[in-house]
Amino acid sequence: MRYLPHTKEDIAEMLHAVGIDNLDGLFQTVPEDCRFKGILGLPDALTEWELDSRMSAMSGQMAVSPKYKVFMGAGSYEHYIPATVSYLLSRSEFVTSYTPYQPEMSQGTLQAIYEYQTLASRLLGMEVATASHYDGAAALAESLLMAVRITKQKRVAISSLIHPLYRKVVRTYFEPTGYEVAELPYLGSGVTDLSVLEGMTGLAAVAVQSPNFFGCIEDLMAAGEKAHAQKAILVASFTEVLSYGLLKNPGSLGADITCGEGQSLGIPQSFGGPGLGILATSTKYMRSLPGRLVGKTTDLDGKRGFVLTLATREQHIRREKATSNICTNNSLCALAAAMYMASLGGIGIQELARLNHDKAEYLKKGLKKGGIKIPFETSTFNEFVVEFPEGFDAEYKRIMDKGIVAGVPLTPYYPELKNHYLLCVTETKSREDMDALIKEVKCS
């Protein structure tokens, strides 16, 4: 594709049309201290093969597995991806798919999304799921806006143990709307304090994450009872969807809307993206869902066919009528998740979830035996919080130099939790890996 630069006259005409004097005015909503005002230190231009060689050399210096054993989770999880998923997903008809506006030309893509919707709904215990959301944070924000539309209330309560970055996204969505976002504190046991809900009124939704950011299992049924007593909607969020291979799914515990991140379902971490925002609900609220749904029907000859239905987004109807203006054709990530779930099957997902849980418990017990404090005794899934001795920050770097990343420090997100780290174990970590971490921590 050729690059066609705008002339100064073109730029001046466009600036006049939007009512600003210069290009800097386009960025006035970005805080001053967040803008880069220097000159980018770009190297001289390279040929394609020189650039390829340079990038290969740089990639060899990256601090990634298998060089490092990374015990980090916090919303992005390292899992083995079956070869079937990687191979099938690379087929050109899947990689090049786009929004299936014309069903007669897009039956394969439409069926793939339909299969994903079915599998996601079964895993979460819900009746219908969409496939149009960028990641778990966006899915949560869209779920809360959906609850506002349903209840006509303008206040939502979200647990402070929902992923901190998810909560930031929610506030970004809600800030220009005038709707109120209240946060629920957490108890010393590492779960949400639901008692404060009794004093709240005018709630559209109560959002709780389980397993929460500390890895602790929340009582979704109790949360649902308190939410429904206020005539509010219970939104059950998650970052590790594989936990529902072992835990009761949100639908069976009274959740009205379930949303979260599906990266664990066959999507590589890839330094933070792309992800898969999962959003599911009951047919009762189907018409309030953001994004699009794929439905199954029959044609004039009685043959099975698939079509977009209830596609209430900005590309299909007037923008002001859309249930969402920030969603996408996420079918490639959704297809990866469908392939992953089909490859493992129900029993395979159960066994994998059990393995993740048991390995995390092995590490937790080993650290506890070595004198490391486990501050929250509540049941956890594949990640948990530890409290290291005072001054562990310096030891963290020493341990990293030995090829082990000992979790995520919680202080940036929860200032009161000094020396607390969030550790995660998945099936990718061997007993030897965990024993090496326990040994290094003991040395400190």
pLDDT of residue 231: 95
Q: How much is the pTM?
A: 0.85
For the chain, what percent of residues have pLDDT higher than 90?
67
pLDDT of residue 6: 86
Residue 312 predicted with pLDDT over 70: no
Q: Per the omega criterion (within 30 degrees of 0), is the bond before 274 cis?
A: yes
Q: Return the biggest CA–CA distance within the chain.
A: 73
Residue 13 predicted with pLDDT over 50: yes
For the chain, what percent of residues have pLDDT higher than 70?
93
- Of 50-59, 67-76, 199-208, where does mean pLDDT reach its minimum? 50-59
Dihedral sign from CA coordinates of 129, 265, 425, 421: negative
Strands (E) located in 121-254: 128-133, 155-159, 180-184, 203-209, 233-238
pLDDT of residue 193: 97
Q: Are 210 and 235 in contact (CB under 8 A)?
A: no
| Distance of alpha carbon 180 from alpha carbon 420, whole angstroms | 30
Residue 350 predicted with pLDDT over 90: yes
pLDDT band with cut points at 50, 70 and 90 for residue 44: confident
Overall average pLDDT of the 234-240 stretch: 98
pLDDT of residue 391: 85
Q: What is the per-residue pLDDT across 361-389, written as a single tens digit (0 to 9) for each?
A: 999 999 999 999 999 989 999 999 999 99
pLDDT of residue 66: 57
Q: What is the per-residue pLDDT across 197-219, written as a single tens digit (0 to 9) for each?
A: 998 999 999 999 999 999 999 99
Q: Are strands 277-281 and 293-298 parallel, antiparallel or unpaired?
A: unpaired
Overall average pLDDT of the 330-350 stretch: 93
Residue 297 predicted with pLDDT over 70: yes
pLDDT of residue 314: 53
pLDDT of residue 102: 77
Overall average pLDDT of the 148-168 stretch: 97
pLDDT of residue 229: 94
pLDDT of residue 38: 85
Q: What is the per-residue pLDDT across 94-147, written as a single tens digit (0 to 9) for each?
A: 877 677 777 778 888 889 999 999 999 999 999 999 988 889 999 999 999 999
- Give the closest residue to 98 by CA, choosing from 107, 90, 106: 106
Q: Are strands 293-298 and 304-309 parallel, antiparallel or unpaired?
A: antiparallel
> Structural domains in the chain?
69-80+346-443 (3.90.1150.10), 83-341 (3.40.640.10)
Count the residues in the chain. 444
212 vs 292: which has the higher pLDDT: 212
Q: Collapse the DSSP code of 298 into the 3-class scheme (helix H, G, I; strand E, B; otherwise coil) and give the result.
A: strand
The pLDDT mean for the chain works out to 90
Residue 405 predicted with pLDDT over 60: yes
Angle between helical axes of 136-151 and 164-174 (0-180°, round to 10): 50
Mean pLDDT is highest, among 20-29, 59-68, 247-256, for: 247-256
Mean pLDDT is highest, among 23-27, 63-67, 82-86, 326-330, for: 82-86
| Distance of alpha carbon 112 from alpha carbon 117, whole angstroms | 9
pLDDT band with cut points at 50, 70 and 90 for residue 17: very high
